[in-house]
Structure 1
C-alpha cells in the first residue's frame, strides 16, 4: 500500500487553558480568540493539503479547530474514542502543585508505570488507550484515505502516540504538546513513524 500520512493536532487555546483549569472529556469548552487565530493560521498553512478525511473528538474545541477544513467539504467523522481523558473530580478546577499534590503525585505514578490507576472519579491511561483502539483500527482499515487530519486533546494525544508507536504508556509525557501543535506521521501498513514532532511553525506570526 502507499504511505498513509496523518496530520495529528491538538485543539487551539480555550479560556480554561489560559487560566490553568482542567478540562477533560466532561468539559465541553469552546476556543477563545487566541484559539480561533491559531486555527486560522493552521488552516492557512495547510489548506492546500488534499485531506481525504477529518477526524475529531466529539468535543467542540476539537471540531472548531478544524472547522475551516470541514467547511471545504472534506468528510468529517467524530469519535468519543478521541475525547480527552476524563479527569474526574478535577475537571473544571484550577490545578497547581501547591493546591493539588494528589494530582501531581498520580502523574508521577503513571510515569513510573502505574498506568492502570484511574484518577479519582475518572479514567486511567489504559482505559483511554483501550477506547482509542477501534479508531486506530478504522484508520488502518481505510487505505483509500491516504491523507487524514486528526484533531484531539493533549493527554489523549500523548496516549494515542504511544498506541501508534508501540511505546509503553509510561512514556507518554515524552510527547510534548502545545495548543494547535502538529505531529505528522507516516503509516507504511505495518508501522507508524513521526516526521514532525510538536511542530508550531505555523503559529510563528502569532508569537511576534
Structure 2
C-alpha cells in the first residue's frame, strides 16, 4: 500500500500477528482460551522467522495475550528487541469454544451458518460468541491506543478467530466481514490507526481509497469508510486502515521457508 501524498501520518501502527503453529493446530483441534498449548517444532521455526521479520523494524511496544502459544511467539520478536516494553493482556485471549475446547468439533458448520446469517450471539455450548469477544477485546485495544505514544509502532501477537473478529469489527464496522479475513500461523496484518478528530472527511475518504482488501473478500469495494458509530467508547475516535493483510513473506521465501497449516476456525 502506498498512501497518497499529503495525507497525515497515523497515530499508531499495529502489527497484528497470529501465533506460531501448535500440535493442535496441525490436528485441527479446537484451541480457544481454554487450551494453553505450546508451540510445536514448526511453530517455533515460524516464530523465529517472524522475529527475523521484525529484526530491523522500529518497535515501541510488544503486546500479546497471556496464552502460552502467543507468549512464545512474542518471545521470538522480543529476542531482537531486548529492551522493548512487553505487556500481556488477558483480554486478548482466543475465542472460547466451551465444552469443545481441545476436541475435534463435528458441528462447526452449523455455528458458522448462524454467523453467516448475522447471528453473532451464537456460540458453542459453554463457549463465547463473536459479539461477546468484541465486548471483551475493545477495552483492551482502547487501552493500548490510549497509552501509545504518537506514531507508535506496536506488535500484537494474538489468535486466529480473534483476528477475524478484530479486523472485521475495526476496519469494516461489521462482523459480517469476518469470514473473509484469513489468519495463517504467524501472519502479519499491518493496520494504520488514525484519530478521526484530526482528519477531514476528504482525508478519511482518501485513506479508505488507499486501503488493501483481504484476498477472501467477496464484496465490492465501498466508496466510503464506515462511520465510527459501531466502535465502542475507547475506540470511537479511531479510523483503522489496513496496509497489509495475512502477510507471510517471512515464511514463503529463502532457504528456511516453513509449511503453513490452514485452520478452519
> Is the structural similarity TM-score above 0.5?
yes
Partner of 2:157, secondary structure, is strand
Where in structure 2 are there 5+ consecutive unaligned residues?
A: 1-7, 197-238, 260-265
Q: For the pair shown, which has the larger CA radius of gyration, 1 or 2?
A: 2
Q: CA deviation at 1:141?
A: 1.1
The answer to whether the aligner puts 1:73 opposite 2:79 as a matched pair is: no
Which residue is equivalent to 2:108? Answer: 103
Alignment of 1:55 onto 2:63: yes
Matched, 1:124 2:132: no
Match status 1:174 vs 2:180 = yes
* CA distance, structure 2, for counterparts of residue 178 and residue 131 of structure 1: 23
Q: Give the 3 Å change call, closer, same or farther, for CA 207–61 of structure 1 in structure 2.
A: closer
Whether contact under 8 Å (1:129, 1:160) holds in the other structure is yes
Please give the per-residue CA displacement for 1:26-79, whole angstroms capped at 9, x wherever unaligned: 000000000000011111121111111111111010010010333412111111
**Gaps spanning 5+ residues in structure 1: where?**
none
Per-residue deviation, residues 167-191 of structure 1 (Å, max 9, x unmatched): 3113211101101111011011221
Distance apart, 1:22 and its partner CA: 0.8
Deviation at 1:127, TM superposition (A): 0.5
Q: Can you list the C-alpha shifts for 1:120-169, whole angstroms capped at 9, x where unaligned? A: 11100001000011112113313416100000000011111123214311
Give the deviation of 1:2 after TM superposition: 4.2
What secondary structure sits across from 2:192 in the alignment?
A: strand
1:206 aligns with 2:216: no
| Residue of structure 2 in register with 1:135 after alignment | 140
RMSD value over aligned CA atoms?
Answer: 1.5
CA distance in 2, matches of 1:182, 1:36: 16
8 Å CA contact retained: 1:111, 1:171: no
Higher relative contact order (CA 8 A, sep 6+): 1
Partner Cα separation in structure 2 for residue 15 and residue 199 of structure 1: 22
Give distance in 1, aligned partners of 2:90 and 2:112.
Answer: 23
**More displaced, 26-35 or 131-140?**
131-140
TM-score by length of 1: 0.92
Paired with 2:246 and 2:84, the residues of 1 have a C-alpha distance of 24
- For the 8 Å contact 1:140–1:189, the answer to whether it is kept is no
Contact 1:184 1:196 in 2 (8 A): yes
**Out of 82, 86, 108, which is 2:92 matched to?**
82
